[in-house]
Amino acid sequence: MYESDDPRSRLATARAAPAPAATAFGSSTYARFYATPPQSEDALHRTWFARGQNFIVVYTEAQAGAVFERTGQVDEYVLLLPEADSAVTVEANGERQEIGGFTVTMIPPGNSVVRVTAGGPVVRLFSVRSEDLAALASNAATYAGPHPQVPPFQPWPDPVGGFRIRSYSLDVPDQPGRFGKIFRCTTFMVNVFPPQMGPRDPAKLSPHHHDDFEQCSLAIGGTYVHHLRWPWTANLADWREDEHETCGSPSIAVIPPRVIHTSAAIDPGANLLVDIFSPPREDFSKMEGWVLNAADYPMPA
């Protein structure tokens, strides 16, 4: 249920007939990093781990000198530096790049090191195939088994020219008809929204659902209320109360398939949200010009 001026109203999935009612639903989860102790910390970093069915979010408050290493990483992962003043050095498989803030970077499988040279928030996104990180998630028990509506994780095709460090600036002008700033790789799609200054107009929300993939909404600034509604099925045991969860920053909300949802910024200042999908969304990928690095990462055949 999108407003006519919402770019998502043009998606094929928005025009499709309603999906049949699911016979089972997964659980939503919320991880409020600001209100819980980190799962890992030392003098140079405080790090929280939380997950969905197919992915892991690693959120770090890092100081200069912090080092994050992956040895034998099974697949590509994402590094998001949401603040312009932060900076890192990334080394991967013999390659080295100095990377500034307000960027999203794809880091190849294999051995890699992220060295923080200017402190700030550091967000890393891994697929569930990184089992050592999945085990650290504060909500790991919620995703211990298969999800009734989420297909098992499958990566998208390899990038053009092979795997390497690929970094993209988020300093991209907004464009009418384009929805956020979307980048994808083999394992993730990341959509970084422009700042929402002040509360969202309550008369212009966008309740909708996804048939077969989960959504992770990462709040990195401000405060959001995540509104969720479970459709009724023939089985009363499937019915659930609506959720209206208030989450400050930083935090994540993981929204399962078939659940009607919308998020509303409520902070009077700047509200900053990042939507995360693993693997990438096909419907967004089919929209001309929406995925800003589509030339580097092909869609499945």
pLDDT digits (tens, 9 = 90+) for 232-277: 988 888 889 999 999 999 999 999 999 999 999 999 999 999 999 9
Residue 282's SS3 state is helix
Distance CA 143, CA 26 (A): 9
- Decide if pLDDT at 2 tops 70: no
pLDDT digits (tens, 9 = 90+) for 195-235: 999 999 999 999 999 999 999 999 999 999 999 999 998 88
Identify the structural domains of the chain with CATH numbers, from first to last: 7-285 (2.60.120.10)
Give the confidence band of 10 by pLDDT, cuts at 50, 70, 90: low
Q: Supply the pLDDT for residue 7.
A: 75
Cis peptide before 151 (omega within 30 of 0): no
Give the confidence band of 14 by pLDDT, cuts at 50, 70, 90: low
Q: From edge to edge, which strands make up the β-sheet containing 45-51?
A: 40-42, 45-51, 55-62, 120-127, 77-81, 103-107, 166-169
Residues with Cβ < 8 Å from 162, sequence gap 6 or more? none
Q: What is the pTM (predicted TM-score) of this model?
A: 0.92
- Decide if pLDDT at 106 tops 70: yes
- Decide if pLDDT at 4 tops 60: no
Distance CA 224, CA 183 (A): 23
Give the confidence band of 18 by pLDDT, cuts at 50, 70, 90: very low
Distance CA 278, CA 274 (A): 13
